[in-house]
Structure 1
Amino acid sequence: MISHYDGIALIKRWAELFDVHASPSIIYGYTSGEDFLIKFGDTELRGLEGLNAHHPLKEQFFDEHHLYYDFQVESAGPPLVMTTRMVWDTHRRRSDGSAEHLIADLHHRWTFIRRPADGRVVFQRHELLSLAYRDGAAPSESDPNNLHIDPRRVAFARR
């Protein structure tokens, strides 16, 4: 059995790792390995290769703060499935080199398992259910090749 406290602690660790842009190989150590999945709509990124593909999409963002709250147990499992709300407060380098401050509200679903080899609680799945930028804090540019600012995937508030 994995407690919701275990899930919360691991989500908070995820936030710390993403705030400092930890390398994919470090983040991979907190996952279930090659069956770990990041999912956002029709995009699926698996294992270390998926984390490596996700990493460059985040490079234009800096001074990030992933502020998770509203931790809810969707299924006590096994596996443990939780949902969270998050405020993403960040800055982004625009194509002209200048910076802009962004704030978005996100909703995630997380799946946790115990790694068979050592019993450690790890992420098996990280699913982004929604990403909506706040009024006055949306990107000034969009990019269909970056799921964080793809107008087909995310809600852009008015600037």
Structure 2
Amino acid sequence: MPSFKFPYSEWSLDITPAFPEGQTVFRPIVGAKLRNESKETDAFFGLVDTGADYCMFPSEFLESLGLNKDKLPSGTASGVATDRTIRFATITLEIDQLGLLRVYAGFSDNLNGQGLGMLGHVGFLDRFRLTSDPQSRVFELEELPNV
């Protein structure tokens, strides 16, 4: 099966009382866009998140996709969107090197303003095997058979 290697992305975390000098972390991030028919979002960062059940994106993307938030089915999620309503829609996820993937994804107000979406198990990690090598700062996504 085809596999694709990506470099980890370096991120500077905010300076806080707990980390007065700040902190740098390396994250498994890919470049991405969402599409719905002829409409699409601007490019954003997609965090490959093994702790996320679903693919989750900022609800502010819905307008760019021509989707009415109030007409989408809702659910809830724990973690980043605890006790918040999540709206779900089937969209096309475009990822550098990987191409186009149809996914049923959540949209959360909690992610607005970050330019970051989460690529979770349902719709993404159920299609790819993730191999992580933080020491060399490279991660690999291998397409799974029969997906």
Q: What TM-score, normalized to structure 1?
A: 0.31
| Structure with the larger helix share | 1
Structure ranking higher on relative contact order (CA contacts 8 Å, 6+ apart): 2
Give the number of the structure whose residues are more often strand, by fraction. Answer: 2
- TM-score scaled by length of structure 2: 0.32
